[in-house]
Amino acid sequence: MEMVYLIGLIVISPLWGMLSTQLFLQSWLSFINLGICLIGFIRGKTARRDNLIGIGVCLLSVALFSAGLWLGQWILAEHSPFGQTQSENVVYWVFCAISALFMVPQMLKRIGKSWKQATVPGERESDYFKNRAKMAQNDAGR
């Protein structure tokens, strides 16, 4: 039992803390992006086709990330001996907090970018060409 406890404390809790935070935040980001795409679709300032594709992608993303979070929690809670002690739970939450510190600022930038792409005409194409130019510049530097 001692070895299982150590594995849970040192390996499982930190990994699941980071992974579950990623899945949780990605689910919420997809849900927020779904709302942004719906607003863009309704307002109609950008191509409705693009926003409709975004709605489909966001729905799929919400489903997949939420299912991954649920499945991981179900496996760990119902079918494994991990996460039963207070120290494992503390390690889990510490790693959740550390992961969130790094992921939340990225989420906020992504929400702003999604808003611009869904509501500002030409923004999606502009981002596409900026990325292409950056990739070409990187390839030329090799």
pLDDT at 67: 97
pLDDT of residue 57: 95
**pLDDT above 80: residue 142:** no
Is the distance from CB of 21 to CB of 99 less than 8 angstroms? Answer: yes
Max Cα distance, the chain (Å): 61
**What pLDDT shows up at residue 77?**
82
- DSSP state string for the chain: -HHHHHHIIIIIHHHHHHHHHHHHHHHHHHHHHHHHHHHHHHH-SS-HHHHHHHHHHHHHHHHHHHHHHHHHHHHHHHSSSTT-SHHHHHHHHHHHHHHHHHHHHHHHHHHHHHHHHHHSTTHHHHHHHHHHHHHHHHHHT-
* pLDDT at 54 > cutoff 70: yes
User: Does the pLDDT at position 130 exceed 70?
Assistant: yes
Q: How far apart are CA 51 and CA 126, in angstroms?
A: 16
Mean pLDDT of 123-139: 83
- The C-alpha angle with vertex 18 and arms to 15 and 24, in degrees rounded to 5, equals 130
Q: What are the pLDDT digits (tens) for 79-111? A: 878 777 888 889 999 999 999 999 999 999 999
Residue 137's pLDDT band, with cuts at 50, 70 and 90, is: confident
Give the pair of three-digit tokens for residue 117.
């792409």
Each residue of 1-53: pLDDT tens digit?
687 767 777 878 899 899 999 999 999 999 999 999 999 999 988 888 989 99
Tokens of 63: 């489903």
pTM exceeds 0.85 for this model = no
